[in-house]
C-alpha cells in the first residue's frame, strides 16, 4: 500500500511541481498572473511543446531524435520561401510541414533500413539538415513576409493565442494516437521490449519509420509556428531546441530506456521549463542562473525516476 | 585437502537450488562434477568462486574456514573460473585481458605496454599455447577465449581452476588441447574442478567424480570404480516420476512438416508434428534444439529444406510470417524475448493480434479488455487485474501470459523452448497441463527440454538431437538411458577406451 502511494506521488510529481511553481510565481510577482504575460508564456512554449510531442513518441520507442531543431529551420525556410514565391499561405504552411515530414521520414528510413542507432542517425541529420537550410537560404534569413502569416504564431482565437489551439489539437491527437491506436501500442511495445515485439510479429521497421516521420511532421509544424511568431524564416532557427524538447519529455516522466512517457507529462514538463524561464525574467534573476536551474531540474527529475525504479526492482 | 565443501545450501527466492552440496578437491587432482541441468553444479561452483553466498554449510580452503563474499576474494585466495561464456573484454588484446585489473600492481607502478605483452608471451609459451599476445580477444574463437582465461588464471597464481563445461562449444581437436592443458595444470599441482555433460570425456581426464542430483551430492568416488551405466544411474537417479501421466490422443492431421532443413550446423532435419501431439525434443546443451526452434519460427531462416504448416508451405523468413501461418514460439528467455515487462498483461496478450481488436489502426479498448480477460481466465493467470504490469508477476504466471497471447492469436503449432526452466514444481505441473490442453484443442506441441524425466512424462514421442542432427526418435515407452544414448556419442568413446 505504501508503495502505491509513493508511486502515485511520483506520477503526480511533475504536476505538483508545476502547480507549486505557478502559485509561487503568482505570489512573488504581480506581473505573472496577467493575460499578457500568460499569453506570452504560452506562445513561447508552444513551439517547444509541439516538437516535444513528437519527441515523446520517439522516446517511448526507446529512440531519440536530435535533428528536430534543424528540421524546424528547414521547414520554416521552405514555408516562408514559398510565401515569398507567391504561394497562398495555407499551401505554403502545408509545404513547410511536408518538408518536416520528409526529413523525419528520411531519419526513420536510415534508422530501420541501415540499422544505425537513432542517436547517430539524428546526430548526422542534425548537422546535415542545418546545412541544407544554410545552403538553400545562402545563410540569409527570409524577410518581408505578408502580415497575414503572423496569425499562426501571434494571433488570437476566442482570446486565446492561436498557437495554443494548435498545440492543444496536436496534444489531443497525440494522446489518442498513443492510447488508442496500433501505432501507439506498438511504440510502447517496441520501447518496452523490442525483441518481444519482434517475436510477436510486430512490423517494427514500418512503425519505427512512421514514428520518426511523425516527429518530423510535428517539428515542421513547430517550424511554421516559429517562423510566423518571428515573421522570418531563419536558417539558424531552433538551435538547441532538441535538448529542450528532450528535457520536457524526461521531466514529464518519459524514460530514455523506452516504454514510458505520456502527452500530459510532456506538456507539464515543457510548461515547467517555460515558467522557470518566464519567472526568472520577471524576478530579474540572472539568465545564466536560469540555465543552471533548468539543468538541475532535469537531473533531479531523472535521478528521482532512477531511484523509483531501483526501489521497484528490489521490492 | 585444497577445498572442502560440506552441506552447502542455497536458495533463490524460495527455489532451493542446493540442499546438500558436498565436494572435496585435492591438489593436483582433476575432479569431475556431474549432474543433469539444474542439479546445482553451477550454483555450487559460483559459491566457490565468490559469485553467490551460501545460505548454510561449511567451506574449508586449505583446512581453514572461509567465506568469499566477492569474486575478488576468491581470486585472492587462488580460485579461478573458466566460464562457459567468456567474461573477457573483446576490445582489449590478449595480454591486456590476462593482466586486466592488475596493471599497476607491479613493483614498477606503471607497467609499460611492452612489458605486459612480454609477460603474457612468457605465460602463453609456458603453457604451450599458440597465441599472439597482441591479438584482440574479440577476434578469437570460443576455444581461443578459453585459452586466454586459462592464461589469466595461471597468471593470477591460482591453485584451483574451475572449468564450467569447457568443451561444450569446442571441436574435437580443441577438446584434446583442453585435456592436455588440464593435465599440465595437474602436473603443477593445481587442483581442477571440471564440469561436464559429455560422458565420453570422462575417462580421458578425470581422477574422481562427484555427482549432484536435485541440489544434493549423491555420489563421490574414484572414476574407474564406476561404469557408464552406473554414472547415468547416479545422475538420473530417481525412478521415473509417475505422478503426472498424460493420456495420449490419436494423432490427427499433420500440422508442421519439416523436410531437410539445414542452417549453420543444423543438418538435414526432417520430422512431422500432428494435431493433438506433444513431441519432445531432447539433447545436450548445444545440440541445436534452440537453433531449430529459431529456424521454425523464422528468426533464422533455413538455408535449405522446407517448412510446411497445416498443408501450406511457409518457409518463414521472419517471425511475422511464422506467426501469420499459426506458429508460436515460447522462448526460453521469456523475460527477454517473450514479454514486454513494462506493459500490462492485457497489452501483452493482444500484442500479436492487435488487428483483431482494432479497425483502421484504431483500438477498440473494451473489446481488447474483454479478450484479455477471457484468455486470462482460460489460462488461469493469477493477477489482480489484466491491467497489472506483466513484470510484477511470478515466472509461472509470466509463462502463461506468453502462452495466452499465442492462444489468443489462434496459433496451432506451439514451440516450447525449455518451458519449465526457472519455475517451481507446481508451476511446472500447470505448464504440462497447458500443453496437454493445447494438444487436446487440436494443436501440435514441440517441447524442448533438457530435463529427461519431463520429456518422458509429457511427450508422446521424443526426438533426440546431437551436434545439429536429429539422431533418432523414441516412441513410448522409453527410458532416460535411451535418450542419453542418442544424445551423447557414448558408444564410440567407451568402446575405444575399453
Which grid cell sits at A189?
511495445
What strand order describes the sheet that includes B266-274? B266-274, B254-263, B304-309, B312-313
Q: Which residues lie across from B6 on neighbouring strands?
A: B58
pLDDT, tens digit (0-9, with 9 covering 90-100), for A200-234: 888 899 999 999 999 999 999 999 999 998 888 88
8 Å CB contact of A196 and B347: no
Q: Taking Cα atoms as reference points, which of A168, A213, A167 lies closest to residue A58?
A: A213
Answer whether A238's CB lies under 8 Å from A223's CB: yes
CB distance B319–A200 less than 8 Å?
Answer: yes
The CATH class that applies to domain B3-236 reads: alpha beta
Is B342 near chain A, with CB under 8 Å?
A: yes
How far is C-alpha A279 from the chain's CA centre? 21
In the numeric block, the cell 516412441 is attached to B475
Q: Count residue pairs from A and B with Cβ separation < 8 A.
A: 76
Nearest to B258 by CA among B274, B237, B280: B274
Task: Give the helix ranges, DSSP H, for A231-286.
Answer: 241-251, 263-282
Chain A residues touching B361 at Cβ < 8 A: 181-183
**What is the model's pLDDT at position A80?**
92
Cα–Cα dist A224/A166, whole Å: 11
Instruction: Return the pLDDT at B496.
Output: 32
Give the dihedral of Cα atoms A93, A99, A104, A106; nearest 10 deg.
Answer: 170
Give the Cβ contact number of residue B219 at 10 Å: 18
Contacts of B322 in chain A (CB under 8 A): 201
Average pLDDT, chain A: 87
The answer to whether residues B231 and B199 touch, using CB atoms and an 8 Å cutoff, is yes
Which of A182, A188, A201 comes nearest B358 by C-beta?
A182
| B98 CA: distance to closest CA in chain A (Å) | 32
Question: Å from B323 to nearest chain A CA?
Answer: 6
How much is the pLDDT for B201?
65
Q: Cell numbers 492543444 correspond to what residue?
A: A168
Among chain A residues, CA nearest to B316: A201
Sheet strand arrangement including B413-417 = B327-330, B413-417, B444-448, B278-283, B461-466, B469-475
Taking an 8 Å cut-off on Cβ atoms, the answer to whether A180 and B362 are in contact is yes
Say whether A201 and B324 touch across the interface (CB within 8 A): yes
CATH class for the domain made up of B254-497: alpha beta
pLDDT-derived band at A67 (thresholds 50, 70, 90) equals very high
Topology adopted by domain A35-314: ABC transporter involved in vitamin B12 uptake, BtuC (1.10.3470)
Q: Is the pLDDT of residue A3 over 60?
A: no
Alpha carbon B145 to chain centroid, angstroms: 19
Please report residues of B whose CB lies closer than 8 A to that of A196: 336-340, 348, 351
Please name the helix (run of DSSP H) or strand (run of DSSP E) that holds residue B219, with its range, or none. strand B216-222
Sign, CA torsion B294/B296/B300/B304: positive
Q: How far apart are CA A35 and CA A19, in angstroms?
A: 18
Evaluate if residue A277 carries a pLDDT over 60: yes
Instruction: Write out chain A residues lying below 8 Å of B348, CB-based.
Output: 196
Residue of A nearest to B299 (CA): A199
Q: How far apart are CA B394 and CA A252, in angstroms?
A: 30
- Model pLDDT, residue A63: 93
Q: How far apart are alpha carbons A99 and A132 in whole angstroms? A: 12
A155, A175, A174: which is closest to A43 by C-alpha?
A: A155
For residue A315, what is the nearest residue in chain B, using CA coordinates? B392
Give strand pairing partners of B213. B216
Least CB-CB distance to A260: which of B324, B342, B361?
A: B342
Can you tell me the distance from the alpha carbon of A289 to that of A280, in angstroms, rounded to the nearest whole number? Answer: 9
Crossing angle of helices A35-60 and A204-230, in 10° steps, is 160
Q: Do B336 and A182 touch (CB under 8 A)?
A: no
Contact between A306 and A298 under an 8 Å Cβ cutoff? The reply is no
Q: Which of A181, A191, A196 sits opposite B338 (nearest CB)?
A: A196
Residues of A in contact with B319 (CB under 8 A): 198-201
Give the residue from B405, B408, B380 showing the smallest Cα distance to B394. Answer: B380
Low-confidence ranges of chain B (pLDDT < 70): 13-15, 37-38, 84-86, 101-112, 166-173, 197-203, 237-245, 335, 394-395, 421-427, 489-498
User: What is the structure's pLDDT at A46?
Assistant: 92
For residue A140, pLDDT over 90 is answered with no
Which sign, positive or negative, has the C-alpha torsion A4, A6, A11, A16?
Answer: positive
Q: pLDDT at position B256, please?
A: 92
The reply to whether residue B352 touches residue A182, judged by beta carbons under 8 angstroms, is no
Q: What is the ipTM of this complex?
A: 0.74
Among A193, A195, A214, A255, pick the best mutation site for testing chain B contact (most B Cβ within 10 A): A193
Under an 8 Å CB criterion, which residues of A touch B?
180-183, 185-186, 188-189, 191-193, 195-203, 259-260
pTM for the model stands at 0.70
Helix axes of A89-113 and A204-230: crossing angle, nearest 10 degrees: 140
Residue A197: list chain B partners with CB under 8 A: 340, 351
Question: What are the domain boundaries of chain A?
Answer: 35-314
Q: Tell me how far apart the alpha carbons of residues B473 and B485 are, in angstroms, rounded to a whole number.
A: 12
pLDDT confidence band for A69 (50 / 70 / 90):
very high
What residues does each domain of chain B span?
A: 3-236, 254-497
* B354 shares contact with chain A (CB less than 8 Å): yes
Task: Considering only the beta carbons, identify the residue of A186, A195, A200 that sits closest to B405.
Answer: A200
Give the whole-angstrom CA distance, residue A219 versus residue A214.
9
Q: Which residue bears the cell 511568431? A: A229
- Highest-confidence segment of A34-38, A270-274, B82-86, B329-333: A270-274
- Closest C-alpha to A106, from A65, A137, A73, A76: A65
What pLDDT is stored for residue B495 in this prediction?
A: 34
**Helix axis angle, A35-60 relative to A263-282, nearest 10°?**
140
Amino acid at each position: 500500500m505504501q508503495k502505491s502511494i509513493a508511486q502515485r506521488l511520483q506520477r503526480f510529481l511533475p504536476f505538483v511541481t508545476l502547480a507549486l511553481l505557478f502559485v509561487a510565481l503568482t505570489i512573488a510577482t504581480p506581473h505573472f498572473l496577467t493575460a499578457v504575460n500568460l499569453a506570452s508564456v504560452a506562445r513561447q512554449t508552444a513551439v517547444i511543446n509541439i516538437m516535444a510531442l513528437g519527441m515523446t513518441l520517439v522516446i517511448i520507442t526507446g529512440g531519440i531524435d536530435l535533428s528536430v531543431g534543424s528540421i524546424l529551420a528547414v521547414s520554416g525556410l521552405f514555408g516562408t520561401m514559398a510565401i515569398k514565391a507567391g504561394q497562398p499561405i495555407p499551401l505554403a504552411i502545408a509545404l513547410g510541414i511536408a518538408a518536416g515530414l520528409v526529413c523525419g521520414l528520411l531519419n526513420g528510413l536510415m534508422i530501420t533500413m541501415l540499422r544505425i542507432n537513432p542517436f547517430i542517425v539524428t546526430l548526422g541529420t542534425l548537422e546535415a539538415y542545418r546545412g541544407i537550410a544554410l545552403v538553400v537560404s545562402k545563410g540569409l534569413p527570409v524577410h518581408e513576409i505578408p502580415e497575414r502569416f503572423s496569425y499562426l504564431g501571434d494571433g488570437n482565437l476566442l482570446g486565446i493565442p492561436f498557437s495554443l489551439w494548435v498545440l492543444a489539437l496536436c496534444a489531443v491527437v497525440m494522446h489518442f494516437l498513443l492510447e488508442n491506436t496500433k501505432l501507439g501500442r506498438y511504440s510502447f511495445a517496441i520501447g518496452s521490449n523490442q525483441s518481444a515485439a519482434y517475436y510477436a510479429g510486430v512490423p517494427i521497421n514500418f512503425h519505427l519509420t512512421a514514428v520518426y516521420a511523425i516527429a518530423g511532421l510535428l517539428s515542421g509544424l513547430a517550424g511554421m509556428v516559429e517562423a510566423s511568431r518571428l515573421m522570418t524564416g531563419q536558417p539558424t532557427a531552433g538551435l538547441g531546441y532538441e535538448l529542450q524538447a528532450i528535457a520536457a519529455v524526461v521531466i514529464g516522466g518519459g524514460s530514455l530506456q523506452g516504454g514510458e512517457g505520456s502527452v500530459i507529462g510532456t506538456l507539464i514538463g515543457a510548461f515547467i521549463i517555460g515558467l522557470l524561464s518566464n519567472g526568472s525574467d520577471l524576478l530579474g534573476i540572472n539568465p545564466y542562473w536560469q540555465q543552471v536551474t533548468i539543468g538541475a531540474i532535469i537531473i533531479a527529475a531523472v535521478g528521482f525516476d532512477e531511484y523509483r525504479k531501483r526501489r521497484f526492482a528490489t521490492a | 585437502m585444497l577445498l572442502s565443501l560440506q552441506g552447502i545450501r542455497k536458495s533463490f527466492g524460495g527455489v532451493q537450488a542446493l540442499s546438500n552440496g558436498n565436494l572435496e578437491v585435492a591438489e593436483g587432482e582433476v575432479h569431475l562434477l556431474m549432474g543433469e541441468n539444474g542439479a546445482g553444479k553451477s550454483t555450487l561452483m559460483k559459491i566457490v568462486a565468490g559469485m553467490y553466498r551460501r545460505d548454510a554449510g561449511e567451506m574449508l580452503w586449505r583446512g581453514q574456514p572461509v567465506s568469499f563474499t566477492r569474486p575478488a576474494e576468491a581470486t585472492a585466495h587462488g580460485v579461478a573460473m573458466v566460464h562457459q561464456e567468456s567474461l573477457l573484454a573483446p576490445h582489449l588484446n590478449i595480454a591486456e585481458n590476462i593482466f586486466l585489473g592488475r596493471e599497476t600492481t607491479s613493483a614498477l607502478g606503471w607497467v609499460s605496454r611492452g612489458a605486459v605483452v612480454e609477460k603474457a608471451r612468457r605465460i602463453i609459451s609456458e603453457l604451450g599455447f599458440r597465441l599472439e599476445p597482441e591479438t584482440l580477444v574479440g577476434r578469437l574463437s570460443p576455444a581461443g577465449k578459453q585459452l586466454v582465461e586459462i592464461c589469466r588464471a595461471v597468471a593470477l597464481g591460482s591453485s584451483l581452476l574451475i572449468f564450467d563445461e569447457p568443451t561444450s562449444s569446442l571441436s574435437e581437436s580443441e577438446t584434446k588441447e583442453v585435456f592436455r592443458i588440464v593435465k599440465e595444470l595437474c602436473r603443477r599441482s593445481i587442483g581442477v574442478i571440471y564440469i561436464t555433460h559429455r560422458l565420453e570425456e570422462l575417462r580421458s581426464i578425470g581422477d574422481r567424480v562427484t555427482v549432484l542430483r536435485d541440489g544434493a551430492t549423491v555420489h563421490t568416488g574414484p572414476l574407474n570404480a564406476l561404469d557408464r551405466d552406473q554414472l547415468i544411474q547416479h545422475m538420473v537417479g530417481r525412478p521415473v516420476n509417475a505422478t503426472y501421466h498424460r493420456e495420449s490422443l490419436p494423432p490427427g492431421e499433420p500440422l508442421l512438416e519439416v523436410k531437410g532443413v539445414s542452417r549453420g550446423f543444423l543438418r538435414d532435419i526432417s520430422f512431422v508434428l500432428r494435431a493433438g501431439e506433444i513431441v519432445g525434443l531432447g539433447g545436450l546443451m548445444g545440440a541445436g534444439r534452440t537453433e531449430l526452434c529459431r529456424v521454425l519460427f523464422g528468426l533464422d531462416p533455413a538455408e535449405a529444406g522446407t517448412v510446411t504448416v497445416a498443408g501450406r508451405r511457409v518457409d518463414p523468413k521472419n517471425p511475422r510470417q511464422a506467426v501469420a501461418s499459426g506458429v508460436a514460439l515460447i522462448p526460453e528467455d521469456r523475460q527477454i524475448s517473450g514479454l514486454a515487462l513494462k506493459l500490462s498483461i492485457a497489452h501483452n496478450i493482444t500484442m500479436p493480434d492487435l488487428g483483431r481488436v482494432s479497425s483502421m489502426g484504431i483500438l477498440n479498448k473494451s473489446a481488447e479488455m474483454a479478450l484479455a480477460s477471457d484468455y486470462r481466465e482460460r489460462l488461469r493467470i493469477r493477477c489482480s487485474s489484466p491491467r497489472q504490469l506483466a513484470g510484477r508477476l511470478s515466472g509461472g504466471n509470466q509463462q502463461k501470459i506468453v502462452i495466452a497471447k499465442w492462444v489468443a492469436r489462434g496459433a496451432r503449432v506451439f514451440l516450447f523452448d525449455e518451458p519449465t526452466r526457472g519455475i517451481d514444481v507446481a508451476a511446472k505441473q500447470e505448464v504440462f497441463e497447458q500443453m496437454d490442453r493445447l494438444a487436446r484443442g487440436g494443436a501440435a506441441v514441440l517441447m524442448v527440454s533438457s530435463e529427461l524425466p519431463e520429456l518422458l512424462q509429457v511427450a508422446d514421442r521424443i526426438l533426440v538431437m546431437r551436434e545439429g542432427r536429429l539422431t533418432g526418435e523414441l516412441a513410448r515407452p522409453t527410458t532416460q538411458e535411451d535418450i542419453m544414448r542418442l544424445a551423447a556419442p557414448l558408444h564410440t568413446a567407451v568402446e575405444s577406451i575399453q
